[in-house]
Chain A
Amino acid sequence: MNFDPRYSGRNFSSVGTRPVRPDGVDKVTGRARYGADFNMAGQLVGRILRSPHAHAVIKSIDTSKAEKLAGVKAVITAKDLPDLTDGDAAMYDILDNCMARKKALYDGHAVAAVAAIDARTARQALKLIEVDYEVLPHVTDVDEAAQHHAPLINDQVYTEGLEEKPAKPSNVTKRTQFGHGDVHKGFAEADFIVERSFKTEQTHQGYIEPHACVASVNPDGTAELWVCTQGHFVYRQHCAQLLGLEASKLRVTSSEIGGGFGGKTHVWAEPVALALSRKAGRPVKLVMTRDEVFRASGPTSATSIDVKIGARKDGTITAAEATLRYSCGPYAGSWAEIGAMTAFACYKLENVKTVGYEVLVNRPKTAAYRAPSAPMAAFAVESAVDELAKELGMDAVDFRIKNAAQEGTRSSYGPIYGPIGIGPTLEAVKSHPHMKAPLKANQGRGMACGFWFNFGGQTCTDLNIGMDGTVSLAVGTVDVGGSRASLSLVAAEELGIDYSNVKAIVADTSSLGYNDMTDGSRGTFSSSMATISAARNAIKILKDRAAQMWDIPVEDVTWEKGHAIAKGEKYGNLSPLSLKDIAAKSGTTGGPIAGHSELVADGAGVSFATHICDVEVDPETGSTRVIRYTVVQDAGKAVHPTYVEGQYQGGAAQGIGWALNEEYIYGKDGRLQNAGFLDYRIPVCSDLPMIDTQILEIPNPNHPYGVRGVGETSIVPPLAAIANAVSNAVGVRMTHIPMSPPRILAALEAEREG
């Protein structure tokens, strides 16, 4: 509808302020309804039986005893979720992950489920289901799984992306390559070369709200799903396809979401809950336990990365190369591919090559986790960059500034950059007081850069103006961290009214057109673009109504600061009409006033950050404390700066946990040994310092207000920044994340032994 998304400089009145969020009071009073806080009449309790084996053939499942237990209303296995995927391999993998069909592929893989009148009966019923397993050899380590002799997880997998199809199947599903120039030539020109290998362990997003849903399938083929999700429209599509329902008859409502960070972008138990409801003929509530969340939702990849970077004496990088192996769980993914794209994205490189290998392992399916795949690649690259700077005798920040990508640089993954923030974040860090603060014994300072693409995508938004002049904004992206506040600010800005007169809600799948998943930091970027478009469409109608009220041509009406104004001296006697004045008369000037928008939000602006971190390492115990932390990141335009700061701080905190402590620990039996918050310890309040933030605003040329995504980039630099800080504190290069006390002690000991 002739919407011009290009940036134009303007003075903001609402955008950039820090009001209280519209959903705030509900959340501080306990009234906000999350996934598990909703109930339906006649609702049953669903529970899932999970494989205790990392890799096993399911020879048979006997559910007869469970079915006979009083209070059990339905028992299902894979037979109740027949394969309707019609050759769609990706959907088949989703189906198989929701309920194992032939083999259990990881400890925690769903094999059967029950619906019963209460939780106790459901738990008893699970114990009565008899599964006959034939246990197979398993592999959980990414490097071991990539070996030729490793147990095969899927004998139909032949590595894609090679020049010739390999003769034998393997656990390596795909090879991808990015870059340009000639790295051999580049390394030949180098005076100094650093070459190192790195490993990172698997971590979980660690959202505090377990996956939860209420599913209700009616006999007439209509169905409802209440669920905590980052994308209810995508869940609708996936569930409808897997269950054989018509999408338009499945209404999915996105509950308040208690954290997602990418982990709630995939369906897990929702198709199971729908299948149970269909079989039982009653609504079913299905809530994962924390143990299930760890064992059977989607953590991030474990990785193994080799990096080689060369530079001339003057500090110019001549070549950069990386080989990245990322675990995918038991199903094909594109995680190493993303890592390979992001690895060197911060730098201006003549010769660069990255190769990614996707590796199957007997662990839960890898899911997105905040800038998925980028933190591990940044850890490896930024560690090597720091080391190279030392060899050159250059300051770590100056070395990065010298090689930083700029507007016009061809990125290591292909596109040419527009205006970007890597240089400005580095300059801000260089002059930041944090860099000059004194350090004490056993303390070290590190810094590192990070990049994330940011996504846009399909977006649909409705803006309805009430007769009292207040505005309801219905969006289809999920509010994962305050976006209803930022989108209300944007609507207020564009219409020229007060923030208090706008209320944003997240609409369900039957009330709004399709919206892509709320991922890739796209929520505020995409939905604000659609909100601006919808507001501009509403303003067209408002101007038309004002023209009617004045009985003048609409061409003579402009819209300024929330008012219709009649242009020209001939209308000097016509007082401006406020939005409220026009809305009050809407019943007699043509009916309700609304603006609609459907668009594909293109042009998401890439995002860069640079972090500074001080740590103190206890040489006796290897225990590390972060004592000071600073985040500098480009937001494009910070719509609600307090929530932008919150994104910066939250990503940094997750990165600190990943860098120092968090990891999935598997036993030799292939079972996860720390599936709970006691043993998988995420940072608590007493572990962290205040996290300082500095917001830079380099406008995104492809958004009317210059907005870029802000949610994810903040988790990219911490692994490397902290590794550089620890390495500087102890004088040993740390190459394995997390840098838990035993790993630090082992590194110190290895150094002593030389």
Chain B
Amino acid sequence: MAGIAVSTTINGDAVEYLCQPDETLLDVLRDRLGLTGAKEGCGTGDCGACSVIVDGRLVCSCLVLGAEAEGRKVETIEGMAHGDQLHPLQQKFLEHAALQCGICTPGFLIAAKDLLEKNPSPTEEEIRFGLAGNLCRCTGYDKIVRAVQDAANVMKGA
């Protein structure tokens, strides 16, 4: 079956691929492009482990078709650090032990990045509701919230 030709931008790089009409953006990222940082926890948009940013909008990549990325700008966890310089959120997640198993971490980092870009000084409640689309089963969210608070403070000071 002929695939759909897609030209898009991923983490700042021009990328071209062929995909089937029923393939999700998550399938394309993971299976065609080798970008396995986004995880499939549910495939139904309920867990947020596959979170990416498309044209400045936080989405579950399992709910976006690969073909829909045509002409757009996609940001994934693989593009979050600048070279060997971790993003403040990545650094604070490490320092606060905001991850145990780590499977939800890429999705949380992307969602938190989106949150802080839109609201650089969120309250605890705003963080909790801002991250409510991402499931974590290990941490009870306590250390995740604290890491985001700490990162927000660092980023404001930067």
Mask, B19-54, CB within 8 Å of A = 1, is 010100001001000011111111110110100000
For the complex, give the distance between the alpha carbons of A161 and B77 in Å.
Answer: 55
Q: Smallest CB–CB gap between A685 and chain B, Å? A: 4
Contact A208 B90 (CB under 8 A): no
Give the residues in chain A near B22, CB-CB below 8 Å.
120
- Tell me which residues from 116 to 144 in chain B have a Cβ below 8 Å from any Cβ of chain A: 125, 127-129, 131-144
Known: A29-B78, A120-B20, A642-B97. A677 touches B142 (CB 8 A): no
Known: A21-B94, A686-B132. A33 touches B42 (CB 8 A): no
- Tell me which residues from 42 to 89 in chain A have a Cβ below 8 Å from any Cβ of chain B: none
The residue among B22, B49, B94 with the most chain A CB atoms within 10 A of its own CB is B94
Q: Smallest CB–CB gap between B1 and chain A, Å? A: 9
Asked whether B102 is an interface residue with its Cβ less than 8 Å from the other chain, the reply is: yes
Question: For residue A206, which residue of chain B has the nearest CB?
Answer: B137
For the complex, give the distance between the alpha carbons of A684 and B37 in Å.
Answer: 22
Give the residues in chain B near A24, CB-CB below 8 Å.
94, 99
Mask, A629-666, CB within 8 Å of B = 1, is 00000000000001101100110111000000000000
Asked whether A446 is an interface residue with its Cβ less than 8 Å from the other chain, the reply is: no
Asked whether B61 is an interface residue with its Cβ less than 8 Å from the other chain, the reply is: no
Give the residues in chain B near A20, CB-CB below 8 Å.
94-95
Interface Cβ pair total, 8 Å cutoff: 177
For the complex, give the distance between the alpha carbons of A653 and B86 in Å.
Answer: 29
Contact B41 A690 (CB under 8 A): no
Contact A690 B142 (CB under 8 A): yes
Mask, A8-37, CB within 8 Å of B = 1, is 000000000010110111011111111011
Contact B44 A481 (CB under 8 A): no
Mask, B66-103, CB within 8 Å of A = 1, is 00000000001110110000100010011111011111
Residues on B facing A (Cβ under 8 Å): 20, 22, 27, 30, 35-44, 46-47, 49, 76-78, 80-81, 86, 90, 93-97, 99-106, 109, 125, 127-129, 131-145
Q: Smallest CB–CB gap between A674 and chain B, Å? A: 12
> Which residue of the partner chain, among A37, A119, A260, A650, contacts B36 with CB atoms under 8 Å?
A37
Residues on A facing B (Cβ under 8 Å): 18, 20-21, 23-25, 27-34, 36-37, 119-120, 205-210, 256-261, 287, 289-290, 480-482, 642-643, 645-646, 649-650, 652-654, 676-678, 682-688, 690-691
Q: Smallest CB–CB gap between A350 and chain B, Å? A: 38
> Which residue of the partner chain, among A258, A685, A691, contacts B128 with CB atoms under 8 Å?
A685
> Which residue of the partner chain, among A37, A206, A643, A678, contacts B100 with CB atoms under 8 Å?
A643
* Top 6 A-B pairs, shortest CB-CB distance: A30-B37, A258-B103, A653-B140, A27-B102, A677-B46, A30-B77
Question: For residue A684, which residue of chain B has the nearest CB?
Answer: B132
For the complex, give the distance between the alpha carbons of A205 and B138 in Å.
Answer: 10
The residue among A33, A119, A646 with the most chain B CB atoms within 10 A of its own CB is A646
Question: For residue A678, which residue of chain B has the nearest CB?
Answer: B46
Contact B140 A21 (CB under 8 A): no
Residue contacts A-B, CB under 8 angstroms, 15 given: A30-B36, A32-B102, A37-B36, A207-B103, A209-B103, A258-B102, A259-B137, A290-B44, A646-B100, A646-B138, A649-B142, A650-B100, A676-B42, A688-B128, A688-B141
Known: A258-B103, A685-B128. A36 touches B138 (CB 8 A): no
The residue among B27, B30, B93, B137 with the most chain A CB atoms within 10 A of its own CB is B137
Give the residues in chain A near B90, CB-CB below 8 Å.
28-29
> Which residue of the partner chain, among A18, A25, A481, contacts B86 with CB atoms under 8 Å?
A25
The residue among A28, A34, A683 with the most chain B CB atoms within 10 A of its own CB is A28
The residue among B35, B93, B104, B141 with the most chain A CB atoms within 10 A of its own CB is B141
Contact B129 A688 (CB under 8 A): no
The residue among A205, A210, A287 with the most chain B CB atoms within 10 A of its own CB is A210
Known: A29-B81, A37-B36, A649-B143. A677 touches B137 (CB 8 A): no
For the complex, give the distance between the alpha carbons of A287 and B133 in Å.
Answer: 23
Contact B138 A481 (CB under 8 A): yes
